[in-house]
Amino acid sequence: MQTRRILVAPLDWGLGHASRCVPLIRRFLQEGHTVTLAGTGASGDLLRLHFPALRFLELPGYAIRYPSHSGLVPYLGLQIPGLLRSIRKEHDWLEQLLKQESFDQIISDNRYGLWHPAIASVILTHQLYLPLPTSMQWAKGLVQRRLHSWLNRFGEIWVPDHPGRENLSGGLSHPAPGNLRVEYIGPLSRFSTVSLQQVQQKTLDVVAVLSGPEPQRSLLESRIVARYQHTTMKVRIITGQPGVDRTRDSSGNIEFVGHLADEEFIDTLKRAGTIYCRSGYSSLMDLDALGLKAVLIPTPGQTEQEYLAEHFRMKGWEVLSQSELSK
């Protein structure tokens, strides 16, 4: 097999995009390829924790901030000009990088500007269709055409899911549009290669796995704390902040940890009586790989997570809104 120089760059919205790149990077390294990583923020920290020996390039993110209220789509609509600028900037960043060095392949996880016509460019995404709220259905055709035009700039589109009916992403990536070069590569979880140990006893009443952009990550943390701080239940909150020491915030029955190594993370989930997490796609792939279920709390107003939460409710999972945590 000919070795390749591969650039891997996940989007910086939360940790999920970086997390699902981990098994791909491991596979590339096992095959003897040279991998360079690019990213920023907490997702970049996650990649550096997993691959400290690999070269890491700072690539600015999309700088999208979620609102504290539920009107996400109108809020993000106001940020579309900034999003388009970020896509152009990351494409310019790539052009400048390629003047100094060369790559044989680019793996972009939901970064629409990281493509080049002379290099094998792959976009990793589970979003071939974007769910819109009822108030935005009039723009559905326009949004889909724009999305597909971005995706068509890439030589290949890798969807981390199964191709058939027994899939995880539902209507977000099925059926494959006829105008796109889609390959279903199977779900991706950084836990898929970790040896799973049997856990006999549930020693934690509650484990909450936080993720996603601010301020919604912190708002969910506050709701979990308020729900359990005056109880005797043993609670562990994994705050989704690699490189941040949150242990000093632990108090009483609630323990905070910023991040856990894969084996300890798995052990924590398996010892939990109840797991809370966002209905982000990467979190769902991880739970599926471990054979676990969670109470899903979609980010308010994020239609993709709301869709996935309902999709998994049909599979027998429990779903709560963020406001219901206060009850």
> Using an 8 Å Cβ cutoff, are 15 and 39 in contact?
no
Structure tokens at 76: 């993000």
* pTM recorded for the entire structure: 0.92
299: Cα within 13 Å, side-chain hemisphere: 25
Give the fold, CATH level 3, of 5-184.
Rossmann fold (3.40.50)
Please, what is the end-to-end C-alpha distance for the chain in angstroms? Answer: 58
CATH superfamily of 204-326: Glycogen Phosphorylase B; (3.40.50.2000)
Sign of the CA dihedral running 294, 295, 299, 301? positive
Among 71-85, 111-125, 232-246, the least confident range: 71-85
Q: What is the DSSP string of 140-197?
A: HHHHHHHHHHHHTTSSEEEESS-SSSS-SSGGGT-SPPTTS-EEE-----TTTTSPPP
Supply the pLDDT for residue 136: 74
Rounded to an integer, the average pLDDT of 64-78 is 59
Whether the per-residue pLDDT at 75 is higher than 60: the answer is no
Whether the per-residue pLDDT at 72 is higher than 60: the answer is no
Supply the pLDDT for residue 323: 87
pLDDT in tens, 210-254: 988 788 889 999 999 999 999 999 999 999 888 788 877 888 899
To 5 degrees, how large is the angle CA 248–CA 17–CA 42? Answer: 30
Whether the per-residue pLDDT at 48 is higher than 90: the answer is yes
Sequence ranges of the chain with CATH classification 3.40.50.2000? 5-184, 204-326
Among 11-15, 111-115, 125-129, the least confident range: 11-15
Please state, in angstroms and rounded to a whole number, the distance separating the CA atoms of residues 277 and 102: 40
